Amino acid sequence: ARLPPEVNRVIYVRNLPFSISSEEMYELFGKYGAIRQIRIGNTKETRGTAYIVYEDIYDAKQAADHLSGFNVQNRYLIVLYYNPSRQNKKSNLKDQEEKLRAMQEKHGVDGEQHA
């Protein structure tokens, strides 16, 4: 059977409770098949999100079909397929360096000694 092109072995989940544990994640998402890896967001920008990598693309689809809108601790999960072009680029090194340079300029940090 063929699958739509957006279907992926990796799903991207939003609106997770900040307090959800790795064990709870494996219990919930593991119901749909073997999981290769789960990465739970742990920064200010990524908290409440996770990437779940399934071994099998059909299991990822089952999870997406069943868990989109699923209620967890009074929150409704948003489940999308991983799309690299939509990944938050703020976490990469070049952007961090650019951010730092802009902050240094704004606040007058230039490496010179000040009396």
12 binds ligand ADE (CB under 6 A): yes
92 binds ligand ADE (CB under 6 A): no
Return the amino acid letter for 46: T
Closest CA to 53 of 20, 29, 69, 77: 29
99 binds ligand ADE (CB under 6 A): no
- How many residues line the site for ligand ADE (CB under 6 A)? 7
What does the alpha-carbon distance between residue 52 and residue 63 come to, in Å, rounded to a whole number?
Answer: 10
State the burial class of residue 45 (Cβ atoms within 10 Å of its Cβ: 0-12, 13-18, 19+). exposed
54 binds ligand ADE (CB under 6 A): no
Closest CA to 25 of 50, 57, 45, 60: 50
82 binds ligand ADE (CB under 6 A): yes
Of 87, 91, 92, 104, which one interacts with ligand ADE (CB under 6 A)?
Answer: 87
Residues 28-47 that bind ligand ADE (CB under 6 A): none
Q: Which residues bind ligand ADE (CB under 6 A)?
A: 12, 80, 82-83, 86-88
